[in-house]
Amino acid sequence: MAQEDVFKKIVSHCKEYGFVFPSSDIYDGLAAVYDYGQNGVELKNNIKQYWWQSMVLLHDNIVGLDSAIFMHPTVWKASGHVDAFNDPLIDNRDSKKRYRADVLIEDQIAKYDEKINKEVAKAAKRFGDAFDEAQFRATNARVLEHQAKRDALHERYSRAMNAMDLAELKQIILDEEIVCPISGTRNWTDVRQFNLMFKTEVGSTADGASTIYLRPETAQGIFVNYLNVQKTGRMKLPFGIAQIGKAFRNEIVARQFIFRMREFEQMEMQFFVKPGTEMDWFRYWKETRMKWHQALGFGAENYRFHDHEKLAHYANAACDIEFRMPFGFKEVEGIHSRTDFDLRQHEKFSGRSIKYFDPETNESYTPYDIETSIGVDRMFLSVLCHAYTEEQLEGGETRVVLRLPAALAPVKLAVMPLTKKDGLPEQARAIYDDLKFHFNCQYDEKDSIGKRYRRQDAVGTPYCITVDHDTATDGCVTLRDRDTMQQERVPVESLRQRLEEAVSLTSLLKKLA
Ligand code: GAP
């Protein structure tokens, strides 16, 4: 099945099984804004817990914070967001549609990649086992021609973006003969800068009101609390402050479902270090964060680092952790060496001294900062994309199963009586009432047992427990494993310990040690 079709299926599965709904669905939705349903909110909370505990529980020098979304407007002047948090936009005069110039060019680069991949796939089919992909890529004339065009375009694009040369971005679009996907024409306006922050007003009257912004990143809440936390927590460098919270960006190109949203959630950690040590810590956090992702067991081949060519206005090094989504490798997390830019700017704009007194050297200095910043929603999407599986069963039936890591699954186990009579529901209820204090459980007695198993597979429940006519006499239930579909008899009293090991967040966190 084409990856595009797989992605469409994942999106409709999310809606059908209560993971993600379009926002204001009964009013036909609101572009790039989504709500999380009964299963989605559990999965999302588990992802947040996995992140929070890996940061705050496992590091004795990282503490948490929950700062407000609204902040003093000068914060965004100091941080550079008022002047520099822009996207280059271009309009098509015929369709009246607005696009991000950089995205139009990146799509064009992706088209060259697609052409190359098509040539490779065709040749692989033709030559079968004898196919040497590396040699084919290095020698095939058509592949080399596409590759040369792609590389030249990429080089020109990177230069234009680094210099934020808007005229050159437009010229690239014209030279590459990129057309508007709606009108099919090349009738483009000039490229302009567009600030991504949402504005609103505080104060009840227009006169007394002042403009404030919805935060476009949670990080600034940490920087402006650096002194509060360092002093009240008597924190010594190096130390970190972690925060999970909503962020807002007026994204023009909002697409790929929850990949690019206007309201989203970030999990950010700012790690303050002594100047001069930042590159060592940058490497440390790259490795640590990659390990966190890979502990989920999705396969190392599905992740890669991508070093930034164009650095944000605050960074002296930056890289992304990308995950293989159905629409290609995409950024899920950013790791940035932000220098002392933010603390210095807030020092300058607030007039307050934001320094660290180092008791070892008796000096005061502005700490440097390494940031790890991951989008909850993107992480959610990567987990779902990896988990969604359609399996062909014996007898021709298809089963849709979410192979979620057990610790992240919304429901850990479903308790079911085999039938609705002979006292089985009462026995099943008693087991459910005991286990619900320890795990997120569901009780289900509707429909045939086969249908109930399928329903649980579709939301990724790792275990089903079935109470049958022997349970009353042998004290055992049938425990069914979601992935293998194998069933075994297990004594009721051993269930809790057995499941705890398999589904707890602790088992997952221990992999990080
Ligand atoms: N404080 C640094 C910062 O915000 P960023 O690379 O702009 O850096 C960090 O964003 C992460 O936030 C991204 O890796 C992504 O996971 C998530 N993110 C950013 N914009 C997003 C959007 N419009 N929708 C969903 N997630 C987004």
Domain of residue 131 covers 92-191
User: What is the CA(123)–ligand 1 centre distance, in A?
Assistant: 38
Of 337, 363, 392, at which residue does a domain stop? Answer: 392
* Measured distance CA(242)–CA(62) in Å, rounded: 7
Residue 132 within any structural domain of the chain: yes
What pairing do the DSSP bridges indicate for beta strands 192-195 and 476-481? unpaired
Instruction: Give the end-to-end CA distance of the chain in Å, rounded to a whole number.
Output: 39
For residues 413 and 496, membership in a common domain is answered with yes
Nearest to 252 by CA among 93, 106, 103, 374: 103
DSSP 453-502: HHHHHHHT-SEEEEE-TTHHHH-EEEEEETTT--EEEEEGGGHHHHHHHH
pLDDT higher at 309 or 188: 188
Cβ 482 under 6 angstroms from ligand 1: no
| Ligand 1 nearest-atom number relative to CA 261 | 24
Residue 204 has pLDDT above 70, yes or no: no
User: What is the CA(268)–ligand 1 centre distance, in A?
Assistant: 10
Provide the total of helices (H) and of strands (E) in the chain, helices listed first.
18, 23
Cβ 293 under 6 angstroms from ligand 1: no
The pLDDT score that the predictor gives to residue 206 is 62
Q: Which stretches of 176-271 are DSSP H helices?
A: 219-223, 226-232
For residues 233 and 264, membership in a common domain is answered with yes
The answer to whether the Cα torsion of 96, 254, 319, 330 is positive or negative is negative
* Measured distance CA(176)–CA(154) in Å, rounded: 12
User: What is the CA(414)–ligand 1 centre distance, in A?
Assistant: 35
Q: Which helix (H) or strand (E) holds 188?
A: none
The answer to whether the Cα torsion of 296, 300, 303, 307 is positive or negative is positive
What pairing do the DSSP bridges indicate for beta strands 192-195 and 86-91? antiparallel
Check which CATH number belongs to the domain holding 271 and give it: 3.30.930.10
Cβ 331 under 6 angstroms from ligand 1: yes
Pocket test for ligand 1, best of 266, 305, 320, 329 (most atoms within 8 A of CB): 266
User: What is the CA(194)–ligand 1 centre distance, in A?
Assistant: 17
The pLDDT score that the predictor gives to residue 395 is 85
The pLDDT score that the predictor gives to residue 87 is 92
For residues 488 and 468, membership in a common domain is answered with yes
User: What is the CA(237)–ligand 1 centre distance, in A?
Assistant: 26
Kindly report the protein residue whose alpha carbon is nearest to atom 26 of ligand 1. 375
* Measured distance CA(281)–CA(270) in Å, rounded: 11
Of 360, 392, 424, at which residue does a domain stop? Answer: 392
Residue 85 within any structural domain of the chain: no
Cβ 215 under 6 angstroms from ligand 1: no
* Measured distance CA(498)–CA(192) in Å, rounded: 60
Check which CATH number belongs to the domain holding 434 and give it: 3.40.50.800
Residue 84 within any structural domain of the chain: no
Enter the tokens of residue 391.
């399996």
Confidence of residue 195 (pLDDT cuts 50, 70, 90): very high
- pLDDT mean over 324-340: 95
The pLDDT score that the predictor gives to residue 207 is 63
User: What is the CA(330)–ligand 1 centre distance, in A?
Assistant: 12
Cβ 375 under 6 angstroms from ligand 1: yes
Pocket test for ligand 1, best of 267, 373, 381, 382 (most atoms within 8 A of CB): 373
CB contact at 8 A, 349 and 197: no
CB contact at 8 A, 481 and 462: yes
Kindly report the protein residue whose alpha carbon is nearest to atom 17 of ligand 1. 375
Kindly report the protein residue whose alpha carbon is nearest to atom 16 of ligand 1. 375
CB contact at 8 A, 64 and 52: yes
For residues 408 and 437, membership in a common domain is answered with yes
The pLDDT score that the predictor gives to residue 309 is 72
For residues 226 and 132, membership in a common domain is answered with no
User: What is the CA(386)–ligand 1 centre distance, in A?
Assistant: 20
For residues 8 and 113, membership in a common domain is answered with no
Kindly report the protein residue whose alpha carbon is nearest to atom 15 of ligand 1. 375
For residues 383 and 296, membership in a common domain is answered with yes
- pLDDT mean over 125-151: 93
Residue 227 within any structural domain of the chain: yes
Residue 325 has pLDDT above 80, yes or no: yes
What pairing do the DSSP bridges indicate for beta strands 476-481 and 487-491? antiparallel
Cβ 100 under 6 angstroms from ligand 1: no
Cβ 87 under 6 angstroms from ligand 1: no
- pLDDT mean over 240-268: 94
Enter the tokens of residue 200.
């609103």
Cβ 369 under 6 angstroms from ligand 1: no
Enter the tokens of residue 16.
């059908």
* Measured distance CA(123)–CA(179) in Å, rounded: 30
For residues 159 and 227, membership in a common domain is answered with no
The pLDDT score that the predictor gives to residue 315 is 86
Cβ 251 under 6 angstroms from ligand 1: yes
Residue 450 has pLDDT above 80, yes or no: yes
User: C-alpha distances in angstroms, 103 versus 109, 166, 170?
Assistant: 10, 14, 12
Using left for φ > 0, alpha for ψ between -120 and 50, and beta otherwise, residue 177 falls in left
The pLDDT score that the predictor gives to residue 92 is 96
The pLDDT score that the predictor gives to residue 162 is 83
348-370 pLDDT, tens digit per residue, is 999 999 999 999 999 999 999 99
Strand partners, 413: 441, 463
The pLDDT score that the predictor gives to residue 164 is 87
Cβ 322 under 6 angstroms from ligand 1: no
The pLDDT score that the predictor gives to residue 2 is 74
- Total number of domains in the chain: 3
- pTM, whole model, 2 decimals? 0.90
User: C-alpha distances in angstroms, 86 versus 193, 260, 505?
Assistant: 6, 16, 39
* Measured distance CA(204)–CA(187) in Å, rounded: 44
Kindly report the protein residue whose alpha carbon is nearest to atom 20 of ligand 1. 260
Residue 3 has pLDDT above 80, yes or no: no
Cβ 263 under 6 angstroms from ligand 1: no
Q: Which stretches of 329-409 are DSSP H helices?
A: 341-350, 376-387
For residues 349 and 387, membership in a common domain is answered with yes
Nearest to 268 by CA among 287, 247, 284: 247
Cβ 249 under 6 angstroms from ligand 1: yes
What value does the mean pLDDT of the chain take?
95
Q: Which stretches of 128-266 are DSSP H helices?
A: 133-139, 141-162, 166-175, 219-223, 226-232
Residue 513 has pLDDT above 90, yes or no: no
Cβ 219 under 6 angstroms from ligand 1: yes
Residue 505 within any structural domain of the chain: yes
For residues 416 and 506, membership in a common domain is answered with yes
User: What is the CA(28)–ligand 1 centre distance, in A?
Assistant: 26
Q: Side chain identity at 352, as an amino acid letter?
A: R
For residues 297 and 240, membership in a common domain is answered with yes
Pocket test for ligand 1, best of 33, 67, 264 (most atoms within 8 A of CB): 264
Q: Exposed (0-12), middle (13-18) or buried (19+): which is 171, by Cβ within 10 Å? A: middle
Residue 198 within any structural domain of the chain: no
The pLDDT score that the predictor gives to residue 334 is 97
- Kindly report the number of other CB atoms within 10 A of residue 235's CB atom: 18
Residue 71 within any structural domain of the chain: no
Residue 205 within any structural domain of the chain: no
Enter the tokens of residue 499.
């499941």
For residues 274 and 326, membership in a common domain is answered with yes
Contacts of 287 (CB under 8 A, 6+ apart): none
Per-residue buried b or exposed e for 362-391, using 16+ beta carbons within 10 Å of the residue's own CB = eeeebbbbbbbbbbbbbbbbbbbbbbbeee
